[in-house]
Structure 1
Amino acid sequence: MAKTTNSDNVHIHQVSDGRVGSNSSVFREAPAFRNGDTCGNNDRMHVAMTLDANYLRGTMAAVLSILQHSTCPEDVTFHFLWVRHEHEVFSSIKATFPYLNFKVYRFDVHRVRGLISKSIRQALDQPLNYARIYLANLIPNEVKRVIYLDSDLVMVDDIAKLWKVELGDKVLAAPEYCQANFTVYFTEAFWSDPYMPRTFEGRKPCYFNTGVLVMDVDKWRYGNYTKKVEDWMVLQKQKRIYQLGSLPPFLLVLAGNIMPIDHRWNQHGLGGDNVEGKCRELHPGPISLLHWSGKGKPWLRLDSRKPCSVDHLWAPYDLYRSSRHSFEE
């Protein structure tokens, strides 16, 4: 577990300076988390997330949860992707986490906007939802491995355990579900085509959620996986072959060909389905990460005073000042 102090000698990595704006008061300042005595000179752990003003409350909670449960929080560098410089968002991060090691990168939406097809939920059609496809092209070349995380989750275990998973010869590691019914992810136009279903030949029909990924960045670059995913998105524009945002092209390229890791690292679906967002219970088994994928987000349900039972597991990490929940230092 991380130590907390009030020391101020940690270097902050940033791409620009700026005064803390009025929006800084929206979130409480988190404590400074320090490395434990066993950390020594460990390698840096790299975590990538997107920055969206609409999901900033979730991002803040996710970052807090990672730092709080990390034995070596000072060894974590965050890489944030956004579509434009938003001063209030940037200032909020600096004010809430004054000691955070982080960098921010602009994601050029023009590269992907023309490839996005309308899906069953508008939130899935936002360009930032596709930023993970371009992650390897945005972060520095010296970063060889990165953990990509969605903003609607909290970590309840030491991220170093996830960082150290073996990838072998695979480009990605993620929890895998091999009892998946792939017919629900692709349309009749896909399955009736004489050639497209053959892409799965020799591969198990294994689903994985793209909200928690461990990526070998060099393998992604050398394997030209961005282009492979884009090719399916181009085909989708010509002939509608799936309904769900950025997930299906990932499955088309990599399903059955990733390194499977323990399901504890993505207890996903806590936001319910993509249409109604109804409450769901936790899956049985140990949990290291809770993920509110689906339509329902815990901060919205808590604010509406109609929370699901699982939302109370997210509440302790909520740094929003107007929240009734508070972080216990």
Structure 2
Amino acid sequence: MGFRRRSVELLFVFWVVLWPFCLGIRSINSRLPVGGGDGFGFSMYGASEFVEAPQYRNGNDCPAIKPYASLCDPSFVHIAMTLDSEYLRGSLAAVYSINHHASCPENIFFHFIAAEFDPASPRLLNQIVRSTFPSLKFKVHIFREDKVINLISSSIREALENPLNFARIYLGEMLDSCIDRVIYLDSDIIVVDDIQELWNTKLTNPAVIGAPEYCHANFTNYFTPAFWSDPVLSRVFKSRKPCYFNTGVMVMDLERWRKGNYKKMIENWMEIQKKLRIYELGSLPPFLLVFAGNVEPIHHRWNQHGLGGDNVRGSCRPIHPGPVSLLHWSGKGKPWARLDSGNPCPIDRVWASFDLFKGKSLVAAPSMGYSSYLKQ
């Protein structure tokens, strides 16, 4: 059965069987400081409320995991995501979509990276996740922003300068040493397929990361003329055929990452950026400088990116032709903000299907399912 057909059928079951029960499930009430820009769009004095998500169980063919298994258990699928007050609503929707479509949801272990000085404390964020997903296996890791704050340079959009955007650089040292592989996902994504398929991606040696590549994109646009005119700096791509890839969806070999000290390589490029201004976009270009041309290619269906529009206007964009396993609202426009403003893009209705926030209509168009937005 095709994955999109499976998604439609699963969603139908959800609407008919589970949704009526979800409306009566308890919620959590937590006051969170509210930021501007791409954040919640809550009233400053309002309460953020999330309904408890349905619980999903493993199928008969899933590897058995002991009730009190260590996170080092080899049967776990490890997923890392950031968790903060501004994008919390997106993170919870992403987790819900992953569990909803997973063949073995009880085998997924989430690693949430929370900033030490987030307006909502890591302890409060932990409580919200636990209340929304009582049976979820997860760990909140504290990210010390002083690791990277002095390396961040100005970007074309302020949100791209958030230190938490750079936390993915430090996953090798933040996650337990027994974890040798992780899927990194941005908070503005929705998964509509079984995450196990992405986890099973083989990273052929010496690839350190796997991601969908977009070789048709004009690679020169990601760096300034100062970079391309410097004969020493631009030589980094001389022996490679670099292609653009989006760092919001990556399969990472943490064992190779640690051995190769790739964290330091990326930091070195960030130090050069502070002095010479060789790019305009936050955390993406240093990844391109280190990995472009040496990435394990993953099917494009695992990152239908750009749904948030460009980084300035955030205009609506349709999904790319072809199959869809993961939708990514990269760019300025976030689906929760557009829905709350009453001016959503058509594809935002799919995101709304997994929105657990109680402060608005939970589902914009439940009778329409995915089929109206994801072409067969």
Please indicate, yes or no, whether the TM-score normalized by the shorter chain is above 0.5: yes
Structure 2 counterpart of 1:48: 80
Contact 1:268 1:291 in 2 (8 A): yes
The percentage of aligned residue pairs carrying the same residue is 57
Contact 1:49 1:150 in 2 (8 A): yes
What is the CA-CA distance between 1:326 and the residue it aligns to? 4.1
CA offset digits 1:92-150 (Å, max 9, x no partner): 11110010000011111111000000000000000000000111110001111000000
Contact 1:242 1:248 in 2 (8 A): yes
User: Which one of 90, 94, 99 corresponds to residue 126 of structure 2?
Assistant: 90
Contact 1:21 1:91 in 2 (8 A): no
Structure 2 counterpart of 1:162: 198
Within a 5 Å distance, the mapping from 1:122-133 to structure 2 comes to: 122-133=158-169
Supply the RMSD in Å over aligned alpha carbons. 2.0
Q: TM-score, normalised by structure 2?
A: 0.81
How many residues are matched? 315
What is the CA-CA distance between 1:86 and the residue it aligns to? 3.2
Q: Structure 2: how far apart are the matches of 1:133 and 1:40?
A: 30
Contact 2:29 2:49 in 1 (8 A): no
User: Which one of 32, 37, 50 corresponds to residue 27 of structure 1?
Assistant: 50
Within a 5 Å distance, the mapping from 1:93-132 to structure 2 comes to: 93-132=129-168
Amino acid at match of 1:221: R
SS of alignment partner, residue 314 of structure 1: helix
What is the CA-CA distance between 1:233 and the residue it aligns to? 0.2
Within a 5 Å distance, the mapping from 1:133-148 to structure 2 comes to: 133-148=169-184
SS of alignment partner, residue 300 of structure 1: helix
Within a 5 Å distance, the mapping from 1:268-279 to structure 2 comes to: 268-279=305-316
Q: TM-score, normalised by structure 1?
A: 0.92
Contact 1:179 1:205 in 2 (8 A): no
Q: Structure 1: how far apart are the matches of 2:124 and 2:358?
A: 16
Structure 2 counterpart of 1:61: 93
Q: Structure 2: how far apart are the matches of 1:178 and 1:229?
A: 22
Q: Does 1:37 align with 2:60?
A: yes
Q: Structure 2: how far apart are the matches of 1:126 and 1:111?
A: 13
Distance 1:196 1:318, change over 3 A: same
Structure 2 counterpart of 1:13: none
Would you identify which runs of 4 or more consecutive aligned residues in structure 1 move more than 4 Å?
Answer: 1-6
Q: Does 1:199 align with 2:222?
A: no
Within a 5 Å distance, the mapping from 1:154-233 to structure 2 comes to: 154-169=190-205, 170-233=207-270
Q: Structure 2: how far apart are the matches of 1:233 and 1:307?
A: 36
CA offset digits 1:195-247 (Å, max 9, x no partner): 11100012112010000000000000001100000000000001100000000
SS of alignment partner, residue 327 of structure 2: strand
CA offset digits 1:29-72 (Å, max 9, x no partner): 00111101111337110000001100000000000000000010
Amino acid at match of 1:87: R
Structure 2 counterpart of 1:310: 347
Give the gaps of 5 or more residues in structure 2. 1-5, 19-27, 32-46, 66-74, 367-376
Q: Structure 2: how far apart are the matches of 1:107 and 1:157?
A: 30
Relative to structure 2, which stretch is displaced further, 229-238 or 172-181?
A: 172-181
Give the gaps of 5 or more residues in structure 1. 7-19
Within a 5 Å distance, the mapping from 1:274-289 to structure 2 comes to: 274-289=311-326
Contact 2:122 2:142 in 1 (8 A): no
